[in-house]
A and B are shown apart, each in its own frame.
Chain A
Amino acid sequence: MTQTLTKISPSNHEFADIIHRLEAGGSMLPDTPENLMQIIGIYKAYAVPMDFYWRDLLYIAEKVFLNPLPFFKYFLPQEYLDLKNHYAGDTADLRVWRGCAEAHPELINFIEKGETIKGSKLFHHLWHDRINMEFAEACMRAMYWHGRDMGMGKFDSYLDSDEYKHNADVAIKAYFKGNPAMLGLYKLFPEMFLEQVRQLSYYSNLGLFWEVMCPVFYEMSDIYDEGGFKDVSDAMNFLVNGIFAIAGRPIYHHVYIDGKCYEIISKSKGFTWLYEAALPYVEAVFYRTSPFRGTKSYNAQAKQVPEHQKDFHYGILYADVFPVGSAGIPPTLLMDDMLHFLPDYLKEYYQKNCRGEDDQLIQLGITFQRSMYNVTSAVIQALRTALLYPLDDENPKHLMKNRQFFEAQMDRFKRPEARLKDIQNPDYR
Protein backbone atom coordinates (compact mmCIF):
# COMPACT_ATOMS: atom_id res chain seq x y z
CA MET A 1 0.00 0.00 0.00
CA THR A 2 1.53 3.32 -1.03
CA GLN A 3 1.67 6.35 1.24
CA THR A 4 -0.90 8.05 -0.99
CA LEU A 5 -3.37 5.20 -0.70
CA THR A 6 -3.30 5.32 3.08
CA LYS A 7 -4.38 8.99 2.94
CA ILE A 8 -6.92 8.99 0.09
CA SER A 9 -9.21 6.28 -1.22
CA PRO A 10 -8.12 4.14 -4.16
CA SER A 11 -8.72 5.34 -7.70
CA ASN A 12 -11.62 3.87 -9.68
CA HIS A 13 -9.97 4.65 -12.98
CA GLU A 14 -9.67 1.99 -15.68
CA PHE A 15 -5.89 2.13 -15.16
CA ALA A 16 -6.07 2.39 -11.35
CA ASP A 17 -3.16 -0.05 -10.87
CA ILE A 18 -0.91 2.08 -13.04
CA ILE A 19 -2.06 5.28 -11.33
CA HIS A 20 -1.25 3.76 -7.92
CA ARG A 21 2.18 2.77 -9.28
CA LEU A 22 2.79 6.37 -10.44
CA GLU A 23 1.69 7.61 -7.02
CA ALA A 24 4.29 5.32 -5.46
CA GLY A 25 6.98 6.99 -7.62
CA GLY A 26 6.97 4.32 -10.32
CA SER A 27 6.66 4.27 -14.08
CA MET A 28 3.86 3.27 -16.47
CA LEU A 29 6.21 0.44 -17.45
CA PRO A 30 6.11 -2.49 -14.96
CA ASP A 31 9.19 -2.76 -12.80
CA THR A 32 10.93 -5.97 -13.92
CA PRO A 33 14.62 -6.69 -14.63
CA GLU A 34 13.64 -7.74 -18.16
CA ASN A 35 11.98 -4.37 -18.85
CA LEU A 36 14.98 -2.53 -17.37
CA MET A 37 17.40 -4.48 -19.57
CA GLN A 38 15.29 -3.83 -22.67
CA ILE A 39 14.84 -0.10 -22.20
CA ILE A 40 18.46 0.65 -21.30
CA GLY A 41 19.70 -1.42 -24.22
CA ILE A 42 17.47 0.45 -26.62
CA TYR A 43 18.43 3.86 -25.14
CA LYS A 44 22.04 3.02 -26.05
CA ALA A 45 21.01 1.93 -29.56
CA TYR A 46 18.98 5.14 -29.92
CA ALA A 47 21.71 7.44 -28.61
CA VAL A 48 24.18 6.66 -31.41
CA PRO A 49 21.93 7.61 -34.38
CA MET A 50 20.60 10.49 -32.29
CA ASP A 51 24.19 11.74 -32.14
CA PHE A 52 23.98 12.01 -35.93
CA TYR A 53 20.43 13.43 -35.95
CA TRP A 54 21.13 16.42 -33.71
CA ARG A 55 24.35 17.30 -35.49
CA ASP A 56 22.77 17.09 -38.93
CA LEU A 57 19.61 18.95 -37.88
CA LEU A 58 21.80 21.83 -36.69
CA TYR A 59 23.94 21.61 -39.84
CA ILE A 60 20.84 21.93 -42.03
CA ALA A 61 19.38 24.76 -39.92
CA GLU A 62 22.63 26.70 -39.67
CA LYS A 63 24.56 26.04 -42.88
CA VAL A 64 22.48 24.32 -45.59
CA PHE A 65 19.70 26.79 -44.82
CA LEU A 66 17.74 27.66 -48.00
CA ASN A 67 19.88 25.74 -50.50
CA PRO A 68 17.29 25.08 -53.26
CA LEU A 69 19.00 21.80 -54.22
CA PRO A 70 20.12 20.33 -50.91
CA PHE A 71 21.41 17.02 -52.31
CA PHE A 72 24.19 16.81 -49.76
CA LYS A 73 22.33 17.83 -46.62
CA TYR A 74 22.86 14.36 -45.08
CA PHE A 75 26.62 14.51 -45.77
CA LEU A 76 27.69 15.77 -42.39
CA PRO A 77 30.95 17.75 -42.65
CA GLN A 78 33.79 17.06 -40.21
CA GLU A 79 33.13 20.41 -38.54
CA TYR A 80 29.76 19.14 -37.30
CA LEU A 81 31.07 15.69 -36.35
CA ASP A 82 33.59 17.54 -34.17
CA LEU A 83 31.00 20.00 -32.86
CA LYS A 84 31.24 19.89 -29.10
CA ASN A 85 28.12 18.76 -27.30
CA HIS A 86 27.22 21.32 -24.62
CA TYR A 87 26.33 18.48 -22.22
CA ALA A 88 29.17 15.98 -22.69
CA GLY A 89 32.95 16.07 -22.50
CA ASP A 90 35.41 18.33 -20.70
CA THR A 91 34.05 21.52 -22.25
CA ALA A 92 30.42 20.89 -21.26
CA ASP A 93 28.26 23.62 -19.75
CA LEU A 94 26.78 20.93 -17.51
CA ARG A 95 28.14 17.44 -17.94
CA VAL A 96 25.44 14.78 -18.22
CA TRP A 97 27.72 12.23 -19.91
CA ARG A 98 31.30 11.59 -18.89
CA GLY A 99 32.22 10.51 -22.46
CA CYS A 100 33.49 12.67 -25.30
CA ALA A 101 31.93 15.87 -26.63
CA GLU A 102 32.47 14.94 -30.29
CA ALA A 103 30.53 12.34 -32.31
CA HIS A 104 30.52 8.87 -30.68
CA PRO A 105 33.25 6.47 -31.99
CA GLU A 106 30.61 3.88 -32.97
CA LEU A 107 28.90 6.51 -35.12
CA ILE A 108 32.16 7.54 -36.80
CA ASN A 109 32.90 3.89 -37.51
CA PHE A 110 29.45 3.36 -39.01
CA ILE A 111 29.69 6.46 -41.20
CA GLU A 112 32.95 5.11 -42.63
CA LYS A 113 32.00 1.47 -43.13
CA GLY A 114 28.25 1.10 -42.75
CA GLU A 115 27.09 -2.50 -42.89
CA THR A 116 28.91 -3.09 -46.18
CA ILE A 117 32.45 -1.89 -46.94
CA LYS A 118 34.60 1.14 -46.30
CA GLY A 119 33.77 3.44 -49.19
CA SER A 120 32.82 6.93 -50.24
CA LYS A 121 29.97 8.79 -48.57
CA LEU A 122 28.21 8.92 -51.93
CA PHE A 123 28.29 5.12 -52.25
CA HIS A 124 26.88 4.62 -48.75
CA HIS A 125 24.23 7.25 -49.38
CA LEU A 126 23.02 5.76 -52.67
CA TRP A 127 23.17 2.20 -51.27
CA HIS A 128 21.17 3.51 -48.31
CA ASP A 129 23.82 2.16 -45.97
CA ARG A 130 23.64 5.16 -43.69
CA ILE A 131 21.80 6.86 -40.85
CA ASN A 132 18.20 7.53 -41.87
CA MET A 133 17.88 11.28 -41.37
CA GLU A 134 14.42 11.02 -42.91
CA PHE A 135 13.20 9.82 -39.51
CA ALA A 136 14.59 12.92 -37.77
CA GLU A 137 12.97 15.12 -40.40
CA ALA A 138 9.63 13.34 -39.91
CA CYS A 139 9.81 14.19 -36.19
CA MET A 140 10.71 17.79 -37.01
CA ARG A 141 7.73 18.04 -39.40
CA ALA A 142 5.40 16.63 -36.74
CA MET A 143 6.53 19.39 -34.36
CA TYR A 144 6.18 22.00 -37.10
CA TRP A 145 2.76 20.84 -38.24
CA HIS A 146 1.25 20.43 -34.78
CA GLY A 147 3.11 23.42 -33.29
CA ARG A 148 0.47 26.02 -33.99
CA ASP A 149 -2.42 23.86 -32.83
CA MET A 150 -0.75 22.80 -29.58
CA GLY A 151 -0.10 26.35 -28.39
CA MET A 152 2.63 25.04 -26.07
CA GLY A 153 5.49 27.35 -25.12
CA LYS A 154 6.20 30.58 -26.96
CA PHE A 155 8.28 29.26 -29.87
CA ASP A 156 5.61 28.70 -32.49
CA SER A 157 3.77 31.98 -31.94
CA TYR A 158 7.09 33.82 -32.18
CA LEU A 159 7.43 32.52 -35.76
CA ASP A 160 4.52 34.79 -36.70
CA SER A 161 5.92 37.91 -35.05
CA ASP A 162 7.18 40.93 -37.00
CA GLU A 163 10.53 40.60 -35.28
CA TYR A 164 10.96 37.03 -36.56
CA LYS A 165 9.85 38.02 -40.07
CA HIS A 166 12.39 40.84 -40.10
CA ASN A 167 15.22 38.58 -38.88
CA ALA A 168 14.30 35.94 -41.48
CA ASP A 169 14.16 38.58 -44.23
CA VAL A 170 17.67 39.82 -43.41
CA ALA A 171 19.03 36.26 -43.49
CA ILE A 172 17.20 35.35 -46.73
CA LYS A 173 18.58 38.43 -48.50
CA ALA A 174 22.10 37.75 -47.20
CA TYR A 175 21.91 34.09 -48.27
CA PHE A 176 20.83 34.91 -51.83
CA LYS A 177 23.06 38.00 -52.17
CA GLY A 178 24.32 38.15 -55.77
CA ASN A 179 21.68 35.66 -56.95
CA PRO A 180 19.08 37.75 -58.81
CA ALA A 181 17.04 34.70 -59.80
CA MET A 182 16.41 33.60 -56.20
CA LEU A 183 15.99 37.17 -54.98
CA GLY A 184 13.39 37.68 -57.75
CA LEU A 185 11.61 34.53 -56.68
CA TYR A 186 11.69 35.75 -53.09
CA LYS A 187 10.07 39.01 -54.16
CA LEU A 188 7.33 37.08 -55.96
CA PHE A 189 6.70 34.50 -53.22
CA PRO A 190 7.94 35.94 -49.92
CA GLU A 191 5.66 33.73 -47.78
CA MET A 192 7.03 30.56 -49.36
CA PHE A 193 10.58 31.46 -48.31
CA LEU A 194 9.45 32.57 -44.86
CA GLU A 195 7.66 29.26 -44.38
CA GLN A 196 10.88 27.40 -45.27
CA VAL A 197 12.78 29.45 -42.68
CA ARG A 198 10.13 28.61 -40.08
CA GLN A 199 10.66 24.94 -40.84
CA LEU A 200 14.42 25.45 -40.50
CA SER A 201 13.82 27.00 -37.08
CA TYR A 202 12.17 23.72 -36.11
CA TYR A 203 15.25 21.87 -37.43
CA SER A 204 17.25 23.92 -34.95
CA ASN A 205 14.72 23.38 -32.16
CA LEU A 206 14.79 19.59 -32.49
CA GLY A 207 18.57 19.53 -32.95
CA LEU A 208 19.06 21.45 -29.69
CA PHE A 209 16.56 19.16 -27.95
CA TRP A 210 18.33 15.97 -29.02
CA GLU A 211 21.76 17.43 -28.28
CA VAL A 212 20.74 16.98 -24.65
CA MET A 213 18.93 13.64 -24.88
CA CYS A 214 21.80 11.92 -26.69
CA PRO A 215 24.36 12.17 -23.82
CA VAL A 216 21.61 11.44 -21.27
CA PHE A 217 20.94 8.08 -22.98
CA TYR A 218 24.69 7.32 -23.26
CA GLU A 219 25.08 7.96 -19.55
CA MET A 220 22.15 5.69 -18.68
CA SER A 221 23.70 2.88 -20.68
CA ASP A 222 27.07 3.37 -18.95
CA ILE A 223 25.48 3.37 -15.50
CA TYR A 224 23.57 0.16 -16.29
CA ASP A 225 26.72 -1.54 -17.63
CA GLU A 226 28.46 -0.71 -14.34
CA GLY A 227 25.66 -2.33 -12.34
CA GLY A 228 23.83 0.89 -11.40
CA PHE A 229 20.02 1.30 -11.72
CA LYS A 230 18.40 -1.31 -9.53
CA ASP A 231 14.98 -0.94 -11.13
CA VAL A 232 12.85 0.83 -13.77
CA SER A 233 12.02 3.70 -11.37
CA ASP A 234 15.74 4.44 -10.97
CA ALA A 235 16.03 4.78 -14.73
CA MET A 236 12.93 6.99 -14.81
CA ASN A 237 14.19 9.19 -11.98
CA PHE A 238 17.51 9.69 -13.78
CA LEU A 239 15.47 11.11 -16.66
CA VAL A 240 13.37 13.29 -14.32
CA ASN A 241 16.54 14.79 -12.81
CA GLY A 242 17.97 15.26 -16.29
CA ILE A 243 14.83 17.11 -17.42
CA PHE A 244 15.13 19.54 -14.49
CA ALA A 245 18.88 19.99 -14.81
CA ILE A 246 18.77 21.22 -18.39
CA ALA A 247 15.23 22.66 -18.39
CA GLY A 248 16.65 26.18 -18.82
CA ARG A 249 18.99 25.51 -21.77
CA PRO A 250 18.29 28.10 -24.51
CA ILE A 251 16.45 27.21 -27.72
CA TYR A 252 17.43 29.43 -30.64
CA HIS A 253 18.09 29.50 -34.39
CA HIS A 254 21.35 30.92 -35.71
CA VAL A 255 22.35 30.84 -39.37
CA TYR A 256 25.93 31.19 -40.66
CA ILE A 257 26.24 32.91 -44.04
CA ASP A 258 29.71 33.77 -45.38
CA GLY A 259 31.12 33.36 -41.89
CA LYS A 260 28.66 35.80 -40.34
CA CYS A 261 26.09 34.73 -37.73
CA TYR A 262 22.48 35.81 -38.30
CA GLU A 263 20.32 35.38 -35.21
CA ILE A 264 16.89 34.48 -36.58
CA ILE A 265 15.83 33.46 -33.09
CA SER A 266 18.20 34.95 -30.54
CA LYS A 267 19.07 33.24 -27.24
CA SER A 268 17.92 36.47 -25.60
CA LYS A 269 14.28 35.59 -26.36
CA GLY A 270 14.44 33.38 -23.27
CA PHE A 271 13.10 30.24 -24.97
CA THR A 272 13.89 27.17 -22.91
CA TRP A 273 14.54 23.49 -23.59
CA LEU A 274 11.65 22.35 -21.39
CA TYR A 275 8.88 24.68 -22.53
CA GLU A 276 9.78 25.35 -26.15
CA ALA A 277 11.29 21.98 -27.15
CA ALA A 278 10.77 19.04 -24.77
CA LEU A 279 7.06 19.41 -23.97
CA PRO A 280 6.04 20.24 -27.58
CA TYR A 281 8.22 17.32 -28.77
CA VAL A 282 6.52 14.80 -26.47
CA GLU A 283 3.05 15.97 -27.49
CA ALA A 284 3.78 16.15 -31.22
CA VAL A 285 5.95 13.07 -31.59
CA PHE A 286 5.00 10.61 -28.82
CA TYR A 287 1.27 11.24 -28.97
CA ARG A 288 0.21 12.86 -32.23
CA THR A 289 2.45 12.71 -35.33
CA SER A 290 0.49 11.79 -38.48
CA PRO A 291 -0.71 8.66 -40.28
CA PHE A 292 2.19 7.00 -42.06
CA ARG A 293 1.56 6.49 -45.73
CA GLY A 294 2.39 3.18 -47.29
CA THR A 295 1.20 0.14 -45.41
CA LYS A 296 -2.16 1.31 -44.14
CA SER A 297 -4.78 3.26 -46.00
CA TYR A 298 -6.73 5.87 -44.12
CA ASN A 299 -10.07 7.14 -45.37
CA ALA A 300 -10.63 10.65 -44.05
CA GLN A 301 -14.24 10.70 -45.34
CA ALA A 302 -14.96 7.58 -43.30
CA LYS A 303 -13.64 9.46 -40.25
CA GLN A 304 -10.63 7.18 -39.99
CA VAL A 305 -8.51 10.32 -39.57
CA PRO A 306 -9.60 12.58 -36.70
CA GLU A 307 -11.20 15.90 -37.52
CA HIS A 308 -9.05 17.83 -35.02
CA GLN A 309 -5.28 17.74 -34.81
CA LYS A 310 -5.43 17.38 -31.04
CA ASP A 311 -7.07 13.97 -31.52
CA PHE A 312 -4.25 12.60 -33.68
CA HIS A 313 -2.85 9.44 -32.12
CA TYR A 314 -0.20 8.03 -34.43
CA GLY A 315 2.79 8.43 -32.11
CA ILE A 316 4.91 5.63 -30.65
CA LEU A 317 2.61 5.33 -27.61
CA TYR A 318 -0.19 4.19 -29.95
CA ALA A 319 1.70 2.56 -32.80
CA ASP A 320 0.98 -0.96 -33.88
CA VAL A 321 4.61 -1.74 -34.63
CA PHE A 322 3.90 -4.67 -36.94
CA PRO A 323 2.23 -2.87 -39.88
CA VAL A 324 4.60 0.08 -39.73
CA GLY A 325 7.52 -2.35 -39.88
CA SER A 326 7.96 -1.92 -43.62
CA ALA A 327 10.40 -0.05 -45.79
CA GLY A 328 10.24 3.70 -46.07
CA ILE A 329 7.97 4.36 -43.07
CA PRO A 330 9.59 6.76 -40.58
CA PRO A 331 9.39 4.52 -37.45
CA THR A 332 10.89 1.67 -39.45
CA LEU A 333 13.76 3.90 -40.49
CA LEU A 334 14.50 4.50 -36.82
CA MET A 335 14.30 0.77 -36.06
CA ASP A 336 16.80 0.17 -38.84
CA ASP A 337 19.09 2.86 -37.42
CA MET A 338 18.95 1.34 -33.93
CA LEU A 339 19.58 -2.18 -35.25
CA HIS A 340 23.17 -1.18 -36.14
CA PHE A 341 24.01 -0.26 -32.56
CA LEU A 342 22.21 -2.84 -30.40
CA PRO A 343 24.22 -3.96 -27.37
CA ASP A 344 25.10 -7.67 -27.41
CA TYR A 345 22.72 -8.54 -24.57
CA LEU A 346 19.78 -7.20 -26.55
CA LYS A 347 20.84 -9.00 -29.74
CA GLU A 348 20.93 -12.29 -27.81
CA TYR A 349 17.56 -11.51 -26.24
CA TYR A 350 15.89 -11.00 -29.63
CA GLN A 351 17.48 -14.22 -30.98
CA LYS A 352 15.75 -16.18 -28.21
CA ASN A 353 12.26 -14.79 -28.82
CA CYS A 354 9.63 -14.88 -31.57
CA ARG A 355 11.31 -15.52 -34.91
CA GLY A 356 14.79 -14.51 -33.81
CA GLU A 357 16.72 -12.48 -36.34
CA ASP A 358 13.86 -12.54 -38.86
CA ASP A 359 11.61 -10.25 -36.84
CA GLN A 360 14.10 -8.42 -34.66
CA LEU A 361 13.09 -5.07 -36.21
CA ILE A 362 9.59 -5.61 -34.84
CA GLN A 363 10.89 -6.84 -31.49
CA LEU A 364 13.16 -3.84 -31.08
CA GLY A 365 10.31 -1.57 -32.19
CA ILE A 366 8.22 -2.89 -29.31
CA THR A 367 11.16 -2.53 -26.92
CA PHE A 368 11.40 1.06 -28.14
CA GLN A 369 7.70 1.50 -27.41
CA ARG A 370 8.27 0.26 -23.83
CA SER A 371 11.22 2.60 -23.44
CA MET A 372 9.19 5.59 -24.63
CA TYR A 373 6.42 4.77 -22.14
CA ASN A 374 9.18 5.09 -19.55
CA VAL A 375 10.34 8.45 -20.97
CA THR A 376 6.71 9.64 -21.00
CA SER A 377 6.41 8.52 -17.36
CA ALA A 378 9.48 10.63 -16.57
CA VAL A 379 7.84 13.63 -18.25
CA ILE A 380 4.59 13.03 -16.31
CA GLN A 381 6.51 12.76 -13.01
CA ALA A 382 8.58 15.85 -13.87
CA LEU A 383 5.42 17.84 -14.60
CA ARG A 384 3.90 16.62 -11.35
CA THR A 385 7.04 17.71 -9.47
CA ALA A 386 7.12 21.10 -11.20
CA LEU A 387 3.44 21.96 -11.09
CA LEU A 388 1.88 19.90 -8.31
CA TYR A 389 2.90 18.26 -5.07
CA PRO A 390 5.39 15.74 -3.63
CA LEU A 391 4.19 12.12 -3.61
CA ASP A 392 4.58 12.02 0.21
CA ASP A 393 2.71 15.30 0.78
CA GLU A 394 0.86 15.36 4.11
CA ASN A 395 -2.16 17.21 2.75
CA PRO A 396 -4.88 14.88 1.31
CA LYS A 397 -6.17 17.75 -0.85
CA HIS A 398 -2.78 17.98 -2.53
CA LEU A 399 -2.66 14.21 -3.02
CA MET A 400 -6.07 14.38 -4.65
CA LYS A 401 -4.81 17.03 -7.07
CA ASN A 402 -1.89 14.73 -7.95
CA ARG A 403 -4.44 11.92 -8.45
CA GLN A 404 -6.56 14.04 -10.80
CA PHE A 405 -3.45 14.91 -12.80
CA PHE A 406 -2.39 11.26 -13.13
CA GLU A 407 -5.94 10.23 -14.08
CA ALA A 408 -6.14 12.94 -16.74
CA GLN A 409 -2.85 11.70 -18.20
CA MET A 410 -4.10 8.10 -18.23
CA ASP A 411 -7.34 9.17 -19.94
CA ARG A 412 -5.25 9.66 -23.07
CA PHE A 413 -4.56 5.93 -23.13
CA LYS A 414 -8.19 4.85 -22.97
CA ARG A 415 -8.54 4.83 -26.75
CA PRO A 416 -8.22 1.33 -28.27
CA GLU A 417 -5.02 2.05 -30.21
CA ALA A 418 -3.07 2.87 -27.03
CA ARG A 419 -0.42 0.30 -26.11
CA LEU A 420 -0.43 0.96 -22.36
CA LYS A 421 -2.29 -2.31 -21.68
CA ASP A 422 0.02 -4.26 -23.99
CA ILE A 423 3.24 -3.12 -22.35
CA GLN A 424 1.99 -4.45 -18.99
CA ASN A 425 2.37 -7.94 -20.48
CA PRO A 426 5.95 -9.30 -20.82
CA ASP A 427 4.85 -11.51 -23.75
CA TYR A 428 3.97 -8.49 -25.88
CA ARG A 429 6.94 -8.40 -28.22
Chain B
Amino acid sequence: MPTIVDIAVNNDNFKTLVTAVTVANLVEVLKSPGPFTVFAPTDQAFAKLPPGTITTLVQNIPQLSRILTYHVVPGKLMKSDLEKVNSVISVEGSPISIDCSDNFEVKNATVIMADIEADNGVIHVIDNVILMG
Protein backbone atom coordinates (compact mmCIF):
# COMPACT_ATOMS: atom_id res chain seq x y z
CA MET B 1 0.00 0.00 0.00
CA PRO B 2 1.34 3.54 -0.76
CA THR B 3 2.45 5.85 2.04
CA ILE B 4 0.74 9.15 2.95
CA VAL B 5 3.37 11.00 0.89
CA ASP B 6 2.89 8.73 -2.16
CA ILE B 7 -0.86 9.37 -2.13
CA ALA B 8 -0.39 13.14 -1.88
CA VAL B 9 2.27 13.28 -4.62
CA ASN B 10 0.10 11.29 -7.02
CA ASN B 11 -2.95 13.52 -6.52
CA ASP B 12 -3.21 16.79 -8.48
CA ASN B 13 -5.19 18.49 -5.70
CA PHE B 14 -2.27 18.53 -3.25
CA LYS B 15 0.43 20.39 -5.22
CA THR B 16 0.77 23.19 -2.63
CA LEU B 17 0.70 20.76 0.28
CA VAL B 18 3.40 18.57 -1.29
CA THR B 19 5.58 21.62 -1.98
CA ALA B 20 5.13 22.86 1.59
CA VAL B 21 5.89 19.45 3.10
CA THR B 22 8.99 19.16 0.92
CA VAL B 23 10.26 22.65 1.79
CA ALA B 24 9.65 21.96 5.48
CA ASN B 25 11.66 18.71 5.30
CA LEU B 26 8.72 16.65 6.53
CA VAL B 27 8.71 14.13 3.67
CA GLU B 28 10.82 11.56 5.50
CA VAL B 29 8.70 11.89 8.65
CA LEU B 30 5.49 11.30 6.71
CA LYS B 31 7.08 8.31 4.96
CA SER B 32 8.05 6.74 8.30
CA PRO B 33 5.91 3.91 9.76
CA GLY B 34 3.91 6.33 11.94
CA PRO B 35 1.03 5.77 11.94
CA PHE B 36 -0.39 9.27 11.36
CA THR B 37 -3.72 10.87 10.67
CA VAL B 38 -3.30 13.74 8.21
CA PHE B 39 -5.90 16.44 7.58
CA ALA B 40 -4.82 17.41 4.09
CA PRO B 41 -5.90 20.83 2.72
CA THR B 42 -6.42 20.97 -1.04
CA ASP B 43 -4.77 23.51 -3.33
CA GLN B 44 -8.04 25.47 -3.27
CA ALA B 45 -7.86 25.56 0.54
CA PHE B 46 -4.37 27.09 0.43
CA ALA B 47 -5.54 29.56 -2.23
CA LYS B 48 -8.12 30.94 0.23
CA LEU B 49 -5.36 32.29 2.48
CA PRO B 50 -4.78 36.04 2.05
CA PRO B 51 -1.83 37.04 -0.18
CA GLY B 52 1.61 36.89 1.39
CA THR B 53 0.75 34.28 4.03
CA ILE B 54 2.41 31.39 2.20
CA THR B 55 5.35 33.54 1.06
CA THR B 56 6.22 34.43 4.65
CA LEU B 57 5.85 30.83 5.80
CA VAL B 58 8.02 29.44 2.99
CA GLN B 59 10.73 31.97 3.96
CA ASN B 60 10.62 30.67 7.55
CA ILE B 61 10.80 26.89 7.62
CA PRO B 62 10.36 26.22 11.39
CA GLN B 63 7.22 28.35 11.38
CA LEU B 64 5.92 26.56 8.26
CA SER B 65 6.62 23.18 9.89
CA ARG B 66 4.61 24.23 12.90
CA ILE B 67 1.52 25.04 10.81
CA LEU B 68 1.90 21.78 8.88
CA THR B 69 2.35 19.61 11.97
CA TYR B 70 -0.90 21.10 13.28
CA HIS B 71 -2.56 19.11 10.47
CA VAL B 72 -1.08 15.82 11.70
CA VAL B 73 -2.28 13.68 14.62
CA PRO B 74 -0.41 10.65 15.98
CA GLY B 75 -2.18 7.34 15.36
CA LYS B 76 -4.48 6.09 12.63
CA LEU B 77 -7.87 7.69 13.30
CA MET B 78 -10.65 6.77 10.88
CA LYS B 79 -13.85 8.80 10.65
CA SER B 80 -15.56 6.23 12.87
CA ASP B 81 -12.91 6.85 15.57
CA LEU B 82 -13.18 10.62 15.30
CA GLU B 83 -16.98 10.50 15.65
CA LYS B 84 -16.50 9.43 19.26
CA VAL B 85 -14.36 12.41 20.33
CA ASN B 86 -14.71 16.19 20.56
CA SER B 87 -11.08 16.98 19.96
CA VAL B 88 -7.68 15.45 19.26
CA ILE B 89 -4.18 16.71 20.02
CA SER B 90 -2.03 17.51 16.99
CA VAL B 91 1.68 16.77 16.61
CA GLU B 92 2.16 20.57 17.01
CA GLY B 93 0.70 20.23 20.50
CA SER B 94 -2.51 22.25 20.15
CA PRO B 95 -5.97 20.68 20.13
CA ILE B 96 -8.09 20.27 16.98
CA SER B 97 -11.86 20.28 17.56
CA ILE B 98 -13.91 17.62 15.80
CA ASP B 99 -17.65 17.89 15.07
CA CYS B 100 -19.40 14.99 13.38
CA SER B 101 -22.91 15.95 14.52
CA ASP B 102 -23.92 17.24 11.10
CA ASN B 103 -21.15 17.12 8.51
CA PHE B 104 -17.67 15.79 9.29
CA GLU B 105 -15.98 19.01 10.42
CA VAL B 106 -12.44 19.56 11.67
CA LYS B 107 -12.26 23.00 13.32
CA ASN B 108 -13.61 25.37 10.66
CA ALA B 109 -12.86 23.01 7.80
CA THR B 110 -15.19 20.44 6.30
CA VAL B 111 -13.88 17.01 5.36
CA ILE B 112 -14.62 16.58 1.68
CA MET B 113 -13.16 13.09 1.42
CA ALA B 114 -12.61 10.87 4.47
CA ASP B 115 -10.73 7.67 5.22
CA ILE B 116 -8.14 7.51 2.42
CA GLU B 117 -6.06 4.70 3.83
CA ALA B 118 -2.28 4.63 3.47
CA ASP B 119 0.39 2.18 4.54
CA ASN B 120 1.37 4.44 7.45
CA GLY B 121 -1.93 6.05 8.39
CA VAL B 122 -4.97 7.76 6.97
CA ILE B 123 -5.75 10.99 5.09
CA HIS B 124 -8.89 13.11 5.46
CA VAL B 125 -9.12 15.80 2.77
CA ILE B 126 -10.25 19.22 4.07
CA ASP B 127 -11.44 22.40 2.35
CA ASN B 128 -9.63 24.93 4.62
CA VAL B 129 -6.17 25.29 6.09
CA ILE B 130 -6.73 24.96 9.85
CA LEU B 131 -4.92 27.22 12.29
CA MET B 132 -4.16 26.92 16.00
CA GLY B 133 -6.21 28.89 18.51
Contacts and interface: CB of A to CB of B under 8 A. Distances in A.
Nearest to A402: B108
Contacts of B57: 248
A129 B56 CA distance: 38
A244 B50 contact: yes
Contacts of A267: 60, 62
A110 to B, nearest CB: 31
Interface string A347-375: 00000000000000000000000000000
Nearest to A268: B62
A249 B62 contact: no
Most interface-central of A94, A272, A275, A388 (chain B CB within 10 A): A272
A359 to B, nearest CB: 40
B113 interface: no
A413 B56 CA distance: 34
The bracket for how many chain A residues form the interface is: 20 to 34
Given A248-B67, A250-B60, A387-B108, A94 B133 contact: no
A280 B64 CA distance: 20
A386 B60 contact: no
Contact of B53 (A247, A269, A270, A383): A247
A245 B56 contact: yes
Most interface-central of B53, B56, B60 (chain A CB within 10 A): B56
B63 A248 contact: yes
Interface string B40-76: 0000000001111101110110111111000000000
B102 interface: yes
Given A240-B50, A247-B53, A389 B63 contact: no
Contacts of A383: 133
Contact of B59 (A93, A268, A387): A93
Given A245-B56, A248-B67, A389-B108, A275 B51 contact: no
Contacts of B50: 240-241, 244-245
Interface in B95-116: 102, 107-108
Contact of A248 (B53, B93, B107, B108): B53
B108 A388 contact: yes
Given A94-B56, A245-B53, A387-B108, A250 B133 contact: no
A412 interface: no
B99 to A, nearest CB: 9
Contacts of B63: 248-250, 270-272
A387 B107 contact: yes
A244 B133 contact: no
Contacts of A244: 49-50, 52-53
Contacts of B55: 94, 245
Nearest to B50: A244
A282 interface: no
B131 interface: yes
A388 B132 CA distance: 11
Contact of A246 (B56, B62, B107): B56
Given A386-B133, A387-B131, A247 B62 contact: no
Contacts of A279: 133
A279 B132 CA distance: 12
A405 to B, nearest CB: 11
A293 interface: no
Contact of B56 (A248, A270, A389, A398): A248
A397 interface: yes
22 contacts: A240-B50, A241-B51, A241-B52, A244-B49, A245-B50, A245-B52, A245-B56, A247-B53, A247-B56, A248-B60, A248-B64, A249-B56, A249-B60, A249-B63, A269-B62, A270-B66, A272-B66, A383-B133, A386-B131, A386-B133, A389-B108, A398-B108
Given A248-B64, A398-B108, 12 more contacts: A240-B50, A241-B51, A246-B52, A248-B57, A249-B56, A267-B62, A270-B62, A271-B63, A386-B133, A387-B107, A387-B108, A387-B133
Interface of B: 49-53, 55-57, 59-60, 62-67, 93, 102, 107-108, 131-133
Interface of A: 93-94, 154, 240-241, 244-250, 267-272, 275, 279, 383, 386-389, 397-398
- Which 7 A/B pairs are nearest by Cβ-Cβ distance? A245-B52, A270-B62, A244-B50, A270-B66, A248-B57, A248-B63, A248-B56
